Amino acid sequence: MTNPGVQNTNLETLRGLVADILEIEPEELTDDGSFVEEYEADSLRAIEILSRIDKEFDVEVPQEELQRMDNLQHVYDVVKEYAKWE
């Protein structure tokens, strides 16, 4: 069973991490906003997101997953899968 408190904490940690890389305030980052179209992210920022996820959550997400990680919700879903969050 999923613990909503842990899910929310992980999502908000990811929100802060991604917002920092995109150089925006966490409140500006929506769950479904396209990193490329709405926040003008490029491939270097995507790789930086992967690197920070690895450090923050101690989980290695393959670069091949970058295509799936186009917004915050998808980043959460991919990290959840690799980190084996419940």
Which of helix, strand or coil describes residue 32? coil
- Mean pLDDT along residues 72-84: 96
Q: Residue 74 pLDDT > 90, yes or no?
A: yes
The residues near 5 (Cβ < 8 Å, ≥ 6 apart) are none
The whole domain housing 66 covers: 4-83
Q: To the nearest whole number, what is the mean pLDDT of the chain? A: 93
**CATH number for the domain including 26?**
1.10.1200.10
- Our count of domains for the chain comes to 1
**86 pLDDT tier (thresholds 50, 70, 90):** confident
> Quick check: 29 and 51 in contact, CB under 8 A?
no
Distance CA 70, CA 84 (A): 20
> Quick check: 61 and 85 in contact, CB under 8 A?
no
Q: Please report the pLDDT score of residue 1 as a whole number.
A: 45
**7 pLDDT tier (thresholds 50, 70, 90):** confident
Q: Please report the pLDDT score of residue 4 as a whole number.
A: 64
Question: How many other β-carbons are positioned within 10 Å of the β-carbon of residue 47?
Answer: 13
